[in-house]
Amino acid sequence: MRILPKIAIAQINVTVGDIAGNSRKVLQAWQKAGEQGAELVIFPELCITGYPPQDLILFPDFRKKAIQAVQEIAEKTAGGTAIIIGCLWEDKEKIYNAALLLDGRKIVHIQPKTMLPNNGVFDEKRLFDAGNGTVITNWRGHKIAILVCEDVWHEPHVSSLKNQEVEAVFVINASPFEIGKYEKRCKVLIKAAIIVNAPVFYVNMVGGQDDVVFDGGSFVVNSYGELVLNLPQFSEHVSLIDQMQVIQEKPREWQIWNAMKIGLSDYVRKNGFSKVLLGLSGGIDSAVTAALAADALGADNVLGVLLPSPYTSKESVDDALESAKLLGIKTRTITITSGMEIFDKLLTPEFEKSGWMEEPEIGGNLQARLRGVVLMGLSNRYGSLLLSTGNKSEIAVGYSTLYGDSCGAYNVLKDVYKTQVYKLANWRNQQSQAIPESSIKKAPSAELKPNQRDEDNLPTYDILDDILAKHIEHRQSAEEIISAGYDRKIVEKVLKLVRLSEYKRSQSCLGVKISPMLFGKDRRYPVTNKF
């Protein structure tokens, strides 16, 4: 096997639909790779259109502009650095998710994606036509194979390249982040390298796109199945292979924090905002969300709004102010007491009773909605994007108020269970103090009536989260969970709350995908459901 040319990996952050902007980013990375001496630079899957492009693919004008962009990029490659790039491609009446090899001002090879994923966040079978296997091509005297993402996960597909004297395999990807996903990718690519008996070059996209985060983490596996080089997660890099090094995998909390951080910053930036605001209650969820926002956007771009009621404790106000002080963010304090009094006067004749403001289903929800109205008003006034702060545990069992504390355009904790929130808070404080210790230690409470605690209506969060994970992520039934040692009444109550809260989740805002089962594209249940 002859020595391969110098190869660079371009791990870049693109935006869906920004064909012109993505093309400029590709050319900038291509120029940088060329300056480093690269003879070939590889880019992620569908990096011209952005991923996932969803139904933009169905617009003929969108397809035309994407293909023109590739042709214009190819024109730049005369006598210089060749490119492997991801883009849609049309052939007669078929539309492909393809990898294209550009060299000498030409598109010298087109490799359609064969295995089209159609689960979770993926919806490719309704948008693309499947290719007909990988075709080995000869590039500058080297036999190479190019695979698009899912193709490398199917062993029979990879095995078709065996014993064909392939000198290198290039895999272009837009692979979303999930906890444990990086290890899975490495195992799959190590096996592929051993099967083909050739080095495998894996390039992955980086950046946030709505509720999906691409973590980068591109790497190279040699023909013996050894991980020899890799790039960091959650940041852009254009690196020549011999300039890369083996980077140790980061701790789980680091990965989750940085996934949420880039997911939030890209959602805000790519949608034309620069500032955010959130309700700052003194509880751990809002404190962690505020810390994430400050890390992602800078403290000057975060506003914490305190919205105390007569039931809000002094300790909670102090914790909220301490949170803002630790982060260096600005605050506003707007009491909702006068609003509660107006609605008490307005609605008491209708309810034909007094004291209803302390009833969770009526007064508690009204308080939450008053806060939501104020926050949305401030969002409109300041042009700041409103962050929701509910965690996955609360969202699962409906422990939130529709059009109240669930208001917001984005929620970084949407896929993070309450027990994980505590772990993240402790991890973040190990880096530097950002979250008040009292917010971590005190018993969670919505403070919608005197002496209220979350555990008045829910099991402890360690029990609740384990039941939820078994049911949501692992799709276990009540009987399966009960057989694991959980109390029947608790399990049946929790699962009933999950089912009854589907209508709330169907109206919830976007949030960062962390697990294999984010509420949204990953888990699609009917609202009207008697199962």
Report, as residue numbers or ranges, the catalytic residues: 45, 113, 149
What per-residue string of b and e applies to 253-290 under the rule 16 or more CB within 10 Å gives b?
bbbbbbbbbbbbbbbbebeebebbbbbbbbbbbbbbbb
Query: How far apart, in whole angstroms, are the C-alpha atoms of residue 526 and residue 417?
Result: 23
Alpha carbon of residue 479 to chain centroid: 32
Query: How far apart, in whole angstroms, are the C-alpha atoms of residue 214 and residue 172?
Result: 13
DSSP for 297-328 reads H-GGGEEEEE---TT--HHHHHHHHHHHHHHT
Q: Which of 82, 145, 142 is nearest to 114 (CA)?
A: 145
- For 466-518, what is the HEC assignment? HHHHHHHCCCCCHHHHHHCCCCHHHHHHHHHHHHHCHHHHCCCCEECCCCCCC
Query: How far apart, in whole angstroms, are the C-alpha atoms of residue 194 and residue 221?
Result: 9
3-state secondary structure of 164: coil
Residue corresponding to tokens 């995998």: 249
Query: How far apart, in whole angstroms, are the C-alpha atoms of residue 509 and residue 387?
Result: 9
Query: How far apart, in whole angstroms, are the C-alpha atoms of residue 8 and residue 38?
Result: 6
Spatial contact of 11 and 242, defined as CB atoms under 8 Å apart: no
Query: How far apart, in whole angstroms, are the C-alpha atoms of residue 500 and residue 482?
Result: 20
